Amino acid sequence: MLAVSAWRKLLLHFIWTCLLAVLLSTLAQTQFNLLALQQLGIAISFSERLTTSLHDLRHFAPVYAAIFSCSYLVSQSIAFWLRRWVASRWQVALFALAAGIGLLCTLLLVNALAPMPTLIAASRSLPGLLSLLLMAALAGALFARALQQSSGAGSNRQVDASALAALLLPVMLLNGLVTPAASAVESDYRIETLVNELEHPWSLAFLSGGTMLVTERPGRLRLIHADGRLEPEPIAGLPTVFASGQAGLFDVVPAPDFAQSQQIFLSYACGRMRANHTCLARARLDLSRLELTELTEIFRTYPAKTGNAHYGGRLAFLSDGSLVLSLGDGFDYREEAQRLSSHLGSIVRLWPDGTVPEDNPFFGQTGALAEIYSYGHRNVQGLVYDSANQQLLSHEHGPKGGDELNRIQPGLNYGWPVVTQGIDYTGARITPFTAYQGMQLPLLDWTPSIAPSGLTLYQGDLFVDWQGDLLVGALAGRQLQRVRLTEQGAEIVEVLLAELAERIRDVRTGPDGALYVLTDDARGRLLRITPALDGAGAKVY
């Protein structure tokens, strides 16, 4: 076993080489993130680079230290065990190789377990990944060299590798998300559960007579009668859906002339894990047979992407009969949101037959995709057209903070990832900028994030005080927010349904003036929200 002095030296060598790797890796990942912005033509000054680096040393480094120290401890323990069979001249290479391979395996494991495809943004590119592995290898090499110098190669063979098992660095925990401030106004409302047997329901649409269509993310379209009775069998004839993670069947919208045409439109993920898209199809709905016919794909995003995150998928018809579809940035492809040669991170506009309107802002422009209506979005999961004011409104997920409510205008750039109020999930800065020339600022941003999903403009008769307000569902926030547009932007008026503590996926105004809400769960619910019957605030669950 090691003597106390030798153990102390071992501990010190382990700590300083580990911290050195964390320091250098943090600085490297910052520069790779800023380089991605520079490749978009964004100018970054020395002071902006410095402040971003200092921010990451404070906020990203502790997270990376927790990840790297676990990897480093295991890899160097294995190297100690193997070293007895390795000549002393190759031991530096052994420790370096072990550290690099250990970090690679750890990053692959973390990415497999994390909700997002790639946790550390710099490792999205091969050069960025190699830089992190190189810093790990450097730490391993220095650790081995320091041990040789302090102990000598011969005595070093007698070091008990089990001593390394006691070497653990403190892990600094990330702060959790905070729920937004309590509401300024309280409403009395009644909650009625209509259906509680839906698997991760995603979208709700009304047909004539109060009949409803509900999509389930795994790839099913369900029919719910006006009395709340769920048809036991899903509607047949759907397209092949790629269902994994956030991918699946998304929105359903009936054509404005559905009573005559019987047409509906579906957005969904299509393809496979290594090459998938957000797709849009139209079909005729045969209610008597509960079947889709004449199914036709009319749009799919370009280019294909890997992973199963950030698809957007919301649909809305404009007053001229054109159809807009919101898209996500694919998470690992966030810079694509600034490129007009890519659909990722945009909102597209089409005619119902899939052709492109010639008055689209980039129609006929060289190097730009004609379908793009607006760009610079992260993951738009709320979309509503206000016909009275001729405005298209959307909300989108930010990273850790920076969720946005936007008024969409053709041809405008909404900033992502150059502009955001949020930071990455690791604590790293995505960008130095919260504003940038030529990029639109949101009407409202949520920091901390609520993860908005579902959006409706209330124009019913039951809640008189809500006329013209927006209702925003929240996944992470587990609530419904009522938002009012103002001359300055928008403001949160009140928080609803927080007592349920359930993820809200979609919200719609029903033809009866009630509010209909979908909860996101393996046993998701369809809720009907109406004013309290006697004003006493009694609620039915």
Query: String of b and e for 436-467 (b: at least 16 CB within 10 Å)?
Result: beebbebbbbbbbbbbbbbbbbbebebbeebe
Question: What does the DSSP 8-state code read for residue 84?
Answer: G
Please give the helix or strand (H or E) that residue 250 lies within, else none: strand 249-254
Whole-angstrom distance, CA of residue 475 vs CA of residue 457 = 19
DSSP string, 253-301: EE-TTHHHH-EEEEEEEEEETTEEEEEEEEEEEETTTTEEEEEEEEEE-
Whole-angstrom distance, CA of residue 30 vs CA of residue 52 = 7
Nearest to 134 by CA among 113, 103, 94: 103
* Catalytic hit among 200, 310, 377, 395: 310
| Helix ranges restricted to H, 39-171 | 46-82, 91-113, 126-151, 153-156
- Cis-peptide, bond into residue 448, ω within 30° of zero: yes
Nearest to 468 by CA among 402, 540, 406, 393: 393
Largest CA distance in the chain: 88
Nearest to 479 by CA among 419, 408, 529, 431: 529
The set of residues, in sequence order, having a beta carbon less than 8 Å from that of 172 and lying 6+ positions away, is 62, 63, 65, 66
Question: Could you tell me which residues are beta bridge partners of residue 292?
Answer: 285
Whole-angstrom distance, CA of residue 476 vs CA of residue 246 = 14
Whole-angstrom distance, CA of residue 210 vs CA of residue 231 = 14
Please give the helix or strand (H or E) that residue 372 lies within, else none: strand 372-375
- Cis-peptide, bond into residue 303, ω within 30° of zero: yes
The set of residues, in sequence order, having a beta carbon less than 8 Å from that of 101 and lying 6+ positions away, is 75
Does residue 310 carry a catalytic annotation? yes
Q: Other C-beta atoms within 10 Å of 474: how many?
A: 26
User: Which pair of structure tokens corresponds to residue 251?
Assistant: 């929105």
CA 352 to chain centre: 28
Using H for helix, E for strand and C for coil, what is the string for 299-356?
A: EECCCCECCCCCCEEEEEECCCCCEEEEEECCCCCHHHHHCCCCCCCEEEEECCCCCC
Whole-angstrom distance, CA of residue 69 vs CA of residue 14 = 10
Catalytically active residues are 310
